[in-house]
Amino acid sequence: MIGRGGAGGSGVQRKNAGQEWPNLVDVILSWSLQDVMNEGLFKGKVKRIPSTFSNLKSYLEFYTSPLLEELRTEMSSSLESLSTMPFVKISWIEQKKGNGRYEIYVDACPQKAKSSNKAECYAPSVGDIVILSDVKMGHISDITRNGRPYRIAFITVGGDEDDDSPLAKYDIIASGKIDAADRKVTNAPQKCTNEPGSVNSTEIWRKLSSMNLNNSQNDAVLNYFNHMFRWNSMGDEVKEVFLYNDGESDSRKSITSSKNIIRDFCIESASIIFCTVSSSSKVTNKKLELLVIDEAAQLKECETLIPLRLPALKHSILIGDECQLPATVKSKVCTDALFGRSLFERFRYDPEES
């Protein structure tokens, strides 16, 4: 993973990130490896952000090049430290309709590795930018070694950082053709199927999720079924417990265990929501009228815009201290352009704008 969409104020909507910012995605995927590592790629394009603007279009345009340059810098920094970057093994890649669009299945993280925060436990999220390779890379030179193509991808649809399911499926837009598409990846497990004689772990997991079991208990039950049972020899009582509703084999449970659905329901019904500014892009509540941002002086102005997009918003309160550390900006070009200036600071020193 070389770029995290949820951080840095991307404002990407989780359900279909590719449609919200199609131009941004196209630009990122068009970059070659040389472009990403080129510190002068946006030389002359990043201009100092002024205090006043003629219109909204002008305001947003002043942030476009700094956003791209900061993202390029973050990607460059990640590529230079590949050996420490989190990764995950892809078990299946399948090409979809549309240029550069693929569906991927990734392996589950072992609970032991997940609890120790090991690098191999990267959990993809919508908006992430990832680099694809058929080997585990330890140095930037490994990316194109032996003629390998430079391939990155933007995750548009898929799992959630709160999702504990053992198998995750994602939709991606890749920067080029993936030769491994439509087949199982070497030395990786095949994607989950419902073939006779196999246990559908994903379906059982959904039922386990509603039983208030901890991670160790979940793992123990799944391992038990995977190693001791075959699906076609399971007793009816086992199927009743995990797949059906109170003995009625023709009636599926209507209560969901999907964390996404539960989360969306809670958010839409809540009168008060606590979250980060980047997470506010997931808020679907159309009733919230008051926004309070704490530590507002440590946010880039463009990050503050994310919660300000809430549809019913009437009042906003910014709380902060401009004497504390400002927002982190990795690109010197962006620093000189005042890309890290906060909206709090603008109002503090430009009284007319407040």
Q: For the domain 259-353, what is the CATH code?
A: 3.40.50.300
Instruction: Summarize the confidence of residues 184-192 as an average pLDDT.
Output: 38
CA atoms within 13 A on the CB side of 321: 3
Instruction: Summarize the confidence of residues 90-114 as an average pLDDT.
Output: 77
Identify which has the larger pLDDT, 236 or 144: 144
- pLDDT at position 223 is 62
Q: What is the DSSP letter of 117?
A: T
Whole-model pTM? 0.67
Is pLDDT at 259 greater than 60 in this prediction? yes
Provide the percentage of residues in the chain whose pLDDT is more than 90.
35
- Name all contacts of 40-45 with Cβ < 8 Å and 24+ positions apart: 41/69, 41/72, 42/68, 42/69, 42/72, 42/333, 43/333, 45/69
What CA–CA distance (Å, rounded) separates 336 from 63?
13
Provide the percentage of residues in the chain whose pLDDT is more than 70.
64
C-alpha separations of 227 from 197, 213, 220, 230, 240 in Å: 12, 20, 11, 8, 20
- Here the tokens at position 55 are 């219109």
- pLDDT at position 126 is 84
Residue 130 bridge partners (DSSP):
153
- pLDDT at position 18 is 41
Instruction: Summarize the confidence of residues 328-341 as an average pLDDT.
Output: 94
Element (H, E) at 174: strand 168-174
- pLDDT at position 180 is 65
Is pLDDT at 300 greater than 50 in this prediction? yes
Is pLDDT at 123 greater than 50 in this prediction? yes
Kindly give, in sequence order, each residue whose CB lies less than 8 Å from that of residue 354, ignoring residues fewer than 6 positions away: 347
Confidence of residue 275 (pLDDT cuts 50, 70, 90): very high
Nearest alpha-carbon partner for 169 in 101, 109, 90, 85:
90
Contact by Cβ (8 Å): 160, 63: no
Contact by Cβ (8 Å): 296, 319: yes
Residue 95 bridge partners (DSSP):
102
C-alpha separations of 201 from 121, 226, 353 in Å: 20, 8, 57
Q: Count of residues for the chain?
A: 354
Numbered ranges of CATH 3.40.50.300 in the chain: 259-353
Dihedral (CA of 106, 110, 114, 116) sign: negative
Q: Residues 12-48: pLDDT tens digits?
A: 344 444 444 447 888 999 999 999 999 999 989 999 9
C-alpha separations of 188 from 19, 91, 192 in Å: 31, 5, 12
Residue 132 bridge partners (DSSP):
151
What CA–CA distance (Å, rounded) separates 190 from 233?
22
Q: How many CB atoms lie within 10 A of CB 166?
A: 15
What CA–CA distance (Å, rounded) separates 339 from 321?
18
Q: Can you tell me which residue has the tokens 């246990």?
A: 199
Confidence of residue 294 (pLDDT cuts 50, 70, 90): very high
Nearest alpha-carbon partner for 297 in 232, 343, 251:
343
- pLDDT at position 74 is 93
Is pLDDT at 164 greater than 60 in this prediction? no
- pLDDT at position 127 is 86
Is pLDDT at 238 greater than 70 in this prediction? no
Contact by Cβ (8 Å): 173, 25: yes
Contact by Cβ (8 Å): 320, 312: no
Greatest mean pLDDT among 150-164, 221-235, 257-271, 340-354 lies in 257-271
Contact by Cβ (8 Å): 77, 181: no
- pLDDT at position 331 is 94
Identify which has the larger pLDDT, 31 or 52: 31
For 152, list phi and psi in degrees, rounded to 5. -120, 165
Instruction: Summarize the confidence of residues 306-310 as an average pLDDT.
Output: 92
C-alpha separations of 309 from 19, 211, 220, 286, 344 in Å: 17, 38, 45, 11, 17
